[in-house]
Structure 1
Amino acid sequence: MKFEFLAGSRRLTRAAALVLALTAAQGSPVAAQDGFSFTVTAFKQAVAESLGDNPEVAAFYRTRGFEPLWTGADDLSAARRSALFEILGMADDHGLPARRYDAEGLMAQLATARTGRERGLAEMAMTRTYLLFAHDLQSGILDPGTLDAGIKRVLPRRPDSEQLAKLDNGDPRAVMRALVPATAEYSRLMREKLLLEHRIAHGGWGDTVPAAKLEPGDSGPAVVALRDRLVRMGHLKPHLGASYDSRLTEAVRRVQEAHGLEPDGVAGASTLRAINTAPEERLQSVIVAMERERWLNLPEGRGKRHILVNLVDFHARIMDDDKLTFETRSVIGHQDPDRRTPEFSDLMTHMVINPSWYVPRSIIVKEYLPMLRSNPGAVSHLQIIDARGRVVGRGNGFGQYSASSFPFSMRQPPGPKNALGSVKFMFPNQYNIYLHDTPSQHLFKEEVRTYSHGCIRLDDPHDFAYALLARQTDDPQGLFHRILNTGAETRVNLEQPVPVHLIYRTAFTQAKGPVNYRADVYGRDALIWQALARQGVALRAGRS
C-alpha cells in the first residue's frame, strides 16, 4: 500500500503514521518524490493498529522493523507457533482456564488469514495470547489484593519486553518450558493434581466412613469402610483384614501426620473428617496452592537461606538451598478479622533480646482503655507512657479519655512475663508483624493454633536464634545467653539479612511422602477458589 504526501491533499491514517514514526529510524522505505512517499504494507499497518497502549510491545516490533514473530513463512516462526499451541494445550494441567486463551479460535484465525492485513491481525493475536499466558503461568491469573485484605502480595510480573526478547532470541520450546515455575513444590503439586484427577475419574475414594470414632481393636462394617477408603487414598496396601489391626493403625497415623493431627493411630472426629473429605475438595486445594505458588515465583528467587512460615500449618522453618534446616511450631493470629496474620514477604534484619512490648494502639483502645476507665490500677504489668517517654502515674484516673483522645502509649518492660518472651525477630514492615517468644507455652500443644493478635509466636525461639546467629559467630548459644543474662533490651543485627515469606497453603508437598492438607482457618482459599472458578477454572476428571 502506497501513501503519497502532497501538500494538504491527503491525511495519513493513524496506523500508517505510527508505522512511519516507529520504523523510520530502522531504514523503512522512505523516498522523496514531489515532497516524499513511502510504502506501508497491509501487514505492518494491521500490526500498528493492534498495538494499543503497550509501549513495550510497540518498541519490540519497532526494533524488528515490524517483521513477524509468529506468522512468517520461515521455520523459526513455525516453531514458535507450534511451541505456543503446545503449551496452551497444557493450560488445564496447570489449573489455568483454557478458554481464557482460546487456542482453537487462534488456530482458526491463523488458518483463514489470507491477506497481509489478516496476517497482521493474527500476528498480534498470537502476541497478546502469548503474553497473557506467560504472565498467568509465571505469576498467576488473580490479583491477590482484591481477594482478601490479609493477602498483601504483589504479582511478580516480568516485563512484556523481556518475554518477547526471550522468544525472539531463544529456542521456542525451551522458552515456553521456562515459563513454568521451576520450584519442586510446583512440580509436585502439579503431579498431585493429575493423580487426583485420575482417581476422581475412576470413582474417587469410595464410600465415606460411617462412624464417630474408631480405634485399635474395633471391627465391623465401619472398620471395613475405613480400610477400603485408606487403600483407595494410597495410605494402605490392599488386604482382606476386617479388624482395626496394626496395619490400619499405622495407616491412620500416616493420614494424621499428613493432615497436621496428633499421630495417635485413633480415628477420632478430626481424623475421620480428614479421611472423609472428598477428593474433589482436595483437588480444589491443590489448584489454589498452584496459583499461590505462582504468586511467589519471584525473579530473584526466595533466597538461598530464607524463613518460610506456612500460617495454616502452624510451623516456622529455616530453609537453606531449599532444604529444611530448622523447624519449630508456631501460633498465628486469631480468626477474628482484626487479628488475622497477613501474608507477605520481607527481610529479617535483626533480633531483639530482652524486648519490651509496645502495645499496639488497636489493643490499647479496644481492650485496655475500657479496663483503665473503670479501674486505673488495671493491667498493672504495663507502663503508661506519655509523648515524652515518661511513665505516667495512675492516680488521676482515665475516665475522661475516649478511644480517639487517649494520649498515651503502653509498654511492658523486659522480664520473664513479657508478652514477647525473651526475644523477638524483626523484619520491619508496615503491618507491625514479627516472630517472637511467648510465655504461653501451653498453646503449642493445640492442633489449631490461632491465638495471637497477628504476630507469630515460636515454640523454640532460642534454638531459632541460635540457627540464625550460627552464620556469624562460632558460639551462637553463648552469645545469645550472655546478652540474655544482662536483662537489658539489646538489638543484635543479622550480618546477612534473611528473606521471610509468610505463606498460606492448605495443600503442600514434601520431598518424600504424601501431600499434606490443612484446614482453611481464615477462609482465604475458599475465596481464591471462587475467583478462579469465575475465571473459568473447573475441576477435571483425568484421562484414563
Structure 2
Amino acid sequence: MRFVSVLALCSALCIPTFAFAATSNLAQYLDPIMIGEQPTIGSDTIITPDLVITAYQANNFDAIWQDQDYALQAIELLKQAELEGLNPQDYHLQALQELLQQGDSAQFDVLMTDAVMTYATHLIRGKVNPKSLTKTWNYDQHDVTPDQAAAALLKHVKAQTLAEGLENLKPQIPHYKRLKDGLVFYKKLQTLEPLPQASLAKGVIRPTETDPSIPVIRRRLERLGYYTGELNDENLTYDKPLQEAVEKLQYFNQVKTDGVIGKDTLKLLNQSYQEKINDIIVNLERTRWVDNNLTEDFLIVNIAGFKVFLMKNGKLKWESNVVVGRNYTKTPIFKGRLSYVVINPTWTVPRSITKGLVDKVKANPNYLEEKNFYLVDAKRNPIDAQSIDWDSVNRNKFPYWFVQGPSENNSLGQVKFMFPNKYSVYLHDTPAKTLFAEDQRAFSHGCVRVENPFDLAEHVLANTNSWSRNKIDETLASKETTRVTLDKPLDVLLMYWTVAGNEDGLHFYSDVYNRDPALLAKLTQ
C-alpha cells in the first residue's frame, strides 16, 4: 500500500511558463483569502483556501499555471474525475474553461490551483466526511498537510508529472479498480439503444418452460455480459444456456441462485443502468475513505455483503459468510484491533435480552438447566436459581445476570474473536448454522456470526506461539474456557460496501441498512 500525502501530490501541478498572471493581479484574489473573507472567484467558492494560500506562499506568490499548454492538460485530468465516480464540475471545470477563453490569467490561476488541490484531496480521502453520515465511524481520515501539499503541487507542475501524482493518490486495492471498470461498463450501456422491459405472461418462468419474454430476457442478459449464446428471437424456450446466464445474474446480485425467473430476478433484469452506476459511485467513495488506513494484513467485514475477508500481505487469504445485525440492531461501522481469541466462551446475556429469558424460565422451570445457563450477581458471584421465587420476579427489574456455559449450543458457539470496542461487538461462532444458507443474513443483535470460525481461528493464531489447528481442536474438546492473546494484533475493519469488486467480478448487494441514498445525495451536491 502507498501512503502519499495529498499535498505532495498537488505540488506536482505548478509550471511557470504561461505569461499568464502578474503577482499584483494574483494579490487581488489572494488577499481576501489571507484575511479570512469568504473566498470566491466569480460565482465559484474556493474550497481549499488553506492549501491554495500555502501553495502560493511556497511559490513566492508567483503564478503557478504559467504554461498554458500544461494548464490545458491539467484541465483534461480534472475531466477524468468522472472515471473515479466524482463530478468534474466540483473542480470549477466550467469556470476554468470560460476564464481560459477570456484570458483572465489571475482568476484562472487561483481557481485552477484550488481545483487540483480539491481533486487531490478527494482522491486520497474522499469528498464526503463519513462522520457526517455514521456516528460510529472511527477511522482516521488521511491528514492533508498544507506545506507538503504545496510542495507536491509545485513539484509536479514544474516536472509536468501531475497525472502520475494524482494516480498515486487513488486507492490501489484491486476492489477499487474493479469498481471503476464496472462504472465504465455501465456508462457505456447507457449510450446504447434501450431494450424493451421484460414482462412475464405468468408470474414465474422455470427452466424448460416457454414465454414470449424469453428473447428480451436473452438480450438483456447478453448486454449485461451474462449470456453468450445465440440470440434467436424465434426461440421462446427457457433453455440451459439461458438458465446459466440467469443464475449468474442471481449470483452476482445476491438473489437465490435457483434459475427461476420470479419477481426479484425480473426486477434485476429491468433495473436501470443508472441505478448500477449510482451503486458503484457510492462504493468508490467508501473505498477512498479507508484505503490509506489499510495495512498489509487485516480482517474486513462487509456488512452489506454478509462476508468476511482475511487479507495477508495485501492479498486475499480466506473468506467466509457471516450473519450481521438486524435493521433495528445494526452492526456498527468502525475499526478495531483483534487482540485475543476465546475458545469455549461463556455468554453473559445482554440486558436487552434478559426480559425474554425471565419469561422462558417462568414458563419452563427446567429452562436454565436445559440451556446450560446459570445466574450471577453484579460482582459475578454465583446465585442459586432454585432459591428464587420466579412467579414473583419482575422481568423489568431482574437484579441478576444470565450466563451460558461453554458448549456447542452456546449462543456464541465455541469461539469468539475479540477487538475491544465501546459497542460490545465482536466476531463469533453460532449454533444457528442454517442462517448461513439465506441470501439476506441480517439476523443478529449486532455482533458478527462467522460460518467457518475454526478456520478463521487457525489463520489468525497461525503466528501466535504454537497454536496449530490440532491444538485448537484439543482445546475445543476440553470444554475449558481458554483465552489466547495474539502475538501481533490484527486490524479489523467493519465496512459497508453494497458493491464489491471481488476476483470473480462485481457483486451487488442489497442496501440492507438504507445507507446509500444519503451518501449519494452528498456526493452529487
Q: TM-score when scaled to structure 2? A: 0.82
Q: Distance in 2 between matches of 1:223 and 1:408?
A: 62
1:192 aligns with 2:182: yes
1:2-38 Cα offsets, whole Å, 9 max, x none, are xxxxxxxxxxxxxxxxxxxxxxxxxxxxxxxxxxxxx
- Supply the AA of the counterpart residue of 1:437: D
User: Which one of the candidate residues 367, 384, 403 is aligned to 2:375?
Assistant: 384
Q: Distance in 2 between matches of 1:55 and 1:230?
A: 50
User: Which one of the candidate residues 115, 132, 146 is aligned to 1:146?
Assistant: 132
Q: Aligned with 1:135: secondary structure?
A: helix
Q: Distance in 2 between matches of 1:152 and 1:219?
A: 54
Aligned position for 1:497: 489
Q: Distance in 2 between matches of 1:374 and 1:239?
A: 63
1:296 aligns with 2:290: yes
Q: Aligned with 2:383: secondary structure?
A: coil
Q: Aligned with 2:254: secondary structure?
A: coil
Q: Is the 8 A contact 1:341 1:454 kept in 2?
A: yes
Change (3 A) 1:377 1:483: closer
Q: Distance in 2 between matches of 1:455 and 1:288?
A: 25
1:457 aligns with 2:449: yes
Q: Is the 8 A contact 1:261 1:447 kept in 2?
A: yes
Counting only pairs closer than 5 Å after superposition, residues 460-539 of structure 1 correspond to structure 2 as 460-472=452-464, 476-512=468-504, 514-533=505-524, 535=525
Deviates more, 1:247-256 or 1:156-165: 156-165
Gaps of 5+ in 1: 1-39, 536-544
Change (3 A) 1:408 1:105: same
Q: Distance in 2 between matches of 1:410 and 1:203?
A: 63
Aligned position for 1:358: 348
Counting only pairs closer than 5 Å after superposition, residues 442-453 of structure 1 correspond to structure 2 as 442-453=434-445
Change (3 A) 1:180 1:324: closer
1:412 aligns with 2:404: yes
Identity %: 28
Q: Distance in 2 between matches of 1:356 and 1:62?
A: 61
Change (3 A) 1:496 1:205: farther
Q: Is the 8 A contact 2:465 2:487 kept in 1?
A: no
Q: Distance in 2 between matches of 1:416 and 1:346?
A: 27
- Supply the AA of the counterpart residue of 1:438: T
Q: Is the 8 A contact 1:312 1:519 kept in 2?
A: yes
Deviates more, 1:428-437 or 1:371-380: 371-380
Aligned position for 2:264: 270
Aligned position for 2:81: 91
Aligned position for 1:69: 64
Q: Is the 8 A contact 1:414 1:489 kept in 2?
A: yes
Deviation at 1:374, TM superposition (A): 9.4
Deviation at 1:205, TM superposition (A): 5.0
Change (3 A) 1:371 1:530: farther
Deviates more, 1:377-386 or 1:286-295: 377-386
Question: Aligned residues, how many?
Answer: 479
Q: Distance in 1 between matches of 2:50 and 2:288?
A: 26
Q: Distance in 1 between matches of 2:223 and 2:103?
A: 51
Q: Distance in 1 between matches of 2:52 and 2:521?
A: 32
User: Which one of the candidate residues 128, 132, 153 is aligned to 2:118?
Assistant: 132
Aligned position for 1:327: 319
Q: TM-score when scaled to structure 1? A: 0.79
Q: Distance in 2 between matches of 1:445 and 1:511?
A: 22
Deviation at 1:256, TM superposition (A): 2.1
Q: Aligned with 1:263: secondary structure?
A: coil
1:393-432 Cα offsets, whole Å, 9 max, x none, are 44455867685x6654442222222111110011122221
User: Which one of the candidate residues 226, 239, 252 is aligned to 1:235?
Assistant: 226
Deviation at 1:84, TM superposition (A): 3.4
User: Which one of the candidate residues 205, 212, 217 is aligned to 1:221?
Assistant: 212
- Supply the AA of the counterpart residue of 1:387: A
Superposition CA RMSD, Å? 3.1
1:178 aligns with 2:168: yes
Q: Distance in 1 between matches of 2:187 and 2:55?
A: 41
Aligned position for 2:4: none
Q: Is the 8 A contact 2:51 2:149 kept in 1?
A: no
Q: Distance in 2 between matches of 1:55 and 1:260?
A: 45
Change (3 A) 1:392 1:282: same
Q: Distance in 2 between matches of 1:146 and 1:468?
A: 33
Gaps of 5+ in 2: 1-22, 37-48
Change (3 A) 1:204 1:384: farther
- Supply the AA of the counterpart residue of 1:502: L
Change (3 A) 1:169 1:242: same
Change (3 A) 1:227 1:59: closer
Aligned position for 1:539: none
Deviates more, 1:245-254 or 1:448-457: 245-254
1:441 aligns with 2:436: no
Q: Is the 8 A contact 1:213 1:272 kept in 2?
A: no
Q: Aligned with 1:347: secondary structure?
A: strand
Change (3 A) 1:122 1:198: closer
Q: Aligned with 1:325: secondary structure?
A: strand
Q: Aligned with 2:169: secondary structure?
A: coil
Q: Is the 8 A contact 2:50 2:146 kept in 1?
A: no
Deviation at 1:101, TM superposition (A): 2.1
Bigger-Rg structure (1/2): 1
Q: Is the 8 A contact 1:156 1:297 kept in 2?
A: no
1:106 aligns with 2:96: yes
